Amino acid sequence: MARCRVCGSRSPLIASSLGTCASCIRADPPGLAAHLARVHAGTRRAFGLPPEPPRDPLGIPCDLCANQCRISPDQLGYCGLRRNAGGRLAGGAPTQGNLTWYFDPLPTNCVADWVCPAGTGVGYPMWTHREGPEYGYTNLAVFYRACSFNCLGCQNWHYREATGTQGGMTPATLAAQVDARTACICYFGGDPSPQFPHSVAASVLARRRMPKRILRICWETNGTMHPRWLRKAMAIALVSGGCIKFDLKAWDDRIHRALTGFSNGWTLENFRLAAGLASARPVPPALVASTLLVPGYVDASEVGALARCIARLDPDIPYSLLAFHPQFYLHDLPVTSREHAEEALAAARSAGLTRVRIGNAHLLAEPYDRRSRVTV
């Protein structure tokens, strides 16, 4: 049970890595922002990653994501992948992807599986091979080993151990992995943002190889890609029957910075852009949102505010609330409780959203009751 360094309270809902409760983070007392910045810097040094985005006015600019790094000679960008090699940008996008890939049988564990063609058969026969779940087919799951955020509760944090490795896979080689049973490609990570040009190039090549068959293209992301790459990705998702899944971490910018190291401003602006673009194809939905219910920090008030933002754009945008499991630097927080999840679900519905669910109710701390409000 950690103690808040500001107010002195003790609670199992205070992460020892942060040493601060949510109320004090929102109050933003003097010195707290500097403390949280030091926390994030320390977690990155443990993996040999830059403690903050480089800002050398004479450095090479990299504009692939929200960090907008300016990288000094022989130094890395914040993602740990892009680097200044003798006055030229190198590493990752677009010619080499630092990634792993595998075939995931459909229907798969995806935040969009409850509204997408693979999980439901919606859009048959144009967007899916079957009228129901796409059994017998696979998703080409592409995990990019770099990220533009520094999430203390990262559920896939082990990728950091391989972010700086050299070499990689070309878009053509990745596209060639698509076989006769591949119905969709999904890019995730880490996050695709630092390697978006690679994912777009691979998608174009994969669909060009098999122009007359169903091959949906999807991205799961924190939404920090440059808007020009978001437009390219949404165009591919729309024409292929795929979608873009935005992980909205928190509404309050101070909570968001505490959990990820960064502002949520760029993500929310990109989400608004994506919502406008996605309106061109309402079925199947081209935009899906999700939020991880981090105990003590991402509560019903956070979810309600995010849901109101989503509802103003389009109340039919699907929104998946995800149970948190202790990981990484938030290892001492509890699993999301059913009470927490139900309160968040009610807040999202009260905000006017028509399609909301708990995406992984089996992880909730209390027994899952199928008669409860968690079911949708």
Query: What pairs with residue 84 in β-bridges?
Result: 89
pLDDT tens per residue, range 134-169: 999 999 999 999 999 999 999 999 999 888 776 689
Task: Compute how many other C-beta atoms are within 10 angstroms of the C-beta atom of residue 362.
Answer: 7
Query: What pLDDT sits at residue 166?
Result: 66
**Domains in the chain, CATH or no CATH each:** 99-363 (3.20.20.70)
Buried b / exposed e along 24-52 (16+ C-beta atoms within 10 A): bbeeeeeebeeebeebbeebbeeeebbbe
Alpha helical stretches, state H, 109-190: 117-120, 171-175
In the Cβ-directed half-sphere of 58, how many Cα atoms lie within 13 Å?
4
Residue 33's SS3 state is helix
Query: What pLDDT sits at residue 148?
Result: 97
Q: For strand 99-105 and strand 138-144, is the pairing parallel, antiparallel, or unpaired?
A: antiparallel
Locate 179 and state its tokens: 């076989």
- CA 31, CA 38: separation in Å to the nearest integer? 11
Whose tokens are 């990570």? That residue is 189
User: What residues in the chain have per-residue pLDDT under 50?
Assistant: 368-376
Query: What pLDDT sits at residue 369?
Result: 45
- CA 41, CA 21: separation in Å to the nearest integer? 20
* pTM for the full predicted model: 0.94
- CA 223, CA 288: separation in Å to the nearest integer? 12
Query: What pLDDT sits at residue 366?
Result: 66
In degrees and rounded to multiples of 5, residue 305 shows phi and psi of -65, -40
% helix, strand, coil for the chain, step of 5: 30, 20, 50
